[in-house]
Amino acid sequence: MQIRPLLTTLAVTPLVAMLFWLVKLRRRKGARQMSTGAPRQAALDAVR
Amino acid sequence: MDLILTAHIFGGTLAIAAGFVAIAAPKGASWHRKSGMVFFYAMLLMATLAVFMAGFRGVAPGGNIPMGLLTMYLVVTGVQAVRPPGPPRVKRHLVRLCLALFIASGSAFLDRQTKFRVSCVCRSARCSRHSP
């Protein structure tokens, strides 16, 4: 029975979960900034 | 069987199980918090015993002592990142605890086919995976 793929999958699951949640956090942060207009306001402040 | 090694294996097994529960549970929910604290203490137990065995019994100390200390650092600072006082630093918490869990699960599962003795089902004498 081939058990190595199963063990490898179990071993790398934390890394995959980390990447998934990092992307999710980044998207959430981007959506929050879009809704508040924070980057636009920062750019306007920099120009002033 | 050796008590310290048994406790190390017990802590590691508990930590991996609790870590997977924490990954699967909704973040910030009661299950995540409870299994996360189990993961925290089990990882500390496992890493402390790993450093002890590496240092005093000479079990590959060059690799195991830094790895055990790094694991302890990641676990302690990862939990501290979402504890008051101060704002919760979710990204730091996520990266550090996932890396710590990867160290535990990688040590347990990667390249351990000889430890989990699995006999091949092909029954062929010429098969390289066929265990006697």
Q: Are B21 and B33 in contact (CB under 8 A)?
A: no
**Widest pairwise Cα distance in chain B:** 64
Q: How far is CA B23 from the centre of its chain?
A: 14
Say how many domains are in chain B: 1
In a domain, B11, yes or no: yes
Q: Looking at the domain assignment, is residue B125 inside a domain? A: no
State which residues form the domain around B51.
Answer: 3-109
Q: Which residues contact A4 (CB under 8 A, 6 or more apart)?
A: B113
- How many interchain CB pairs under 8 A, A with B? 54
Q: List residues of B whose CB lies inside 8 A of any A CB.
A: 19-20, 23, 27, 90-91, 94-95, 98-99, 101-102, 105-106, 108-110, 112-113, 116, 118-121, 129
In a domain, B115, yes or no: no
- pLDDT (tens digit, 9 = 90+) per residue, B12-26? 999 999 999 999 999
Task: Tell me the three state secondary structure of residue A3.
Answer: coil
CB-CB under 8 Å, A15 with B102: yes
pLDDT digits (tens, 9 = 90+) for B3-55: 999 999 999 999 999 999 999 999 889 999 999 999 999 999 999 999 999 99
Residue B126 counted as domain residue: no
pTM as predicted: 0.80
Residues A1-48 pLDDT 10s:
678 888 899 999 999 999 999 999 888 887 777 766 666 667 667 766
Q: Which two tokens stand for residue B25?
A: 């549970």
pLDDT at B123 over 70: no
For residue B37, being part of any structural domain is answered with yes
The token duo for A11 is 């071993």
Q: Does residue B94 belong to any structural domain of this protein? A: yes
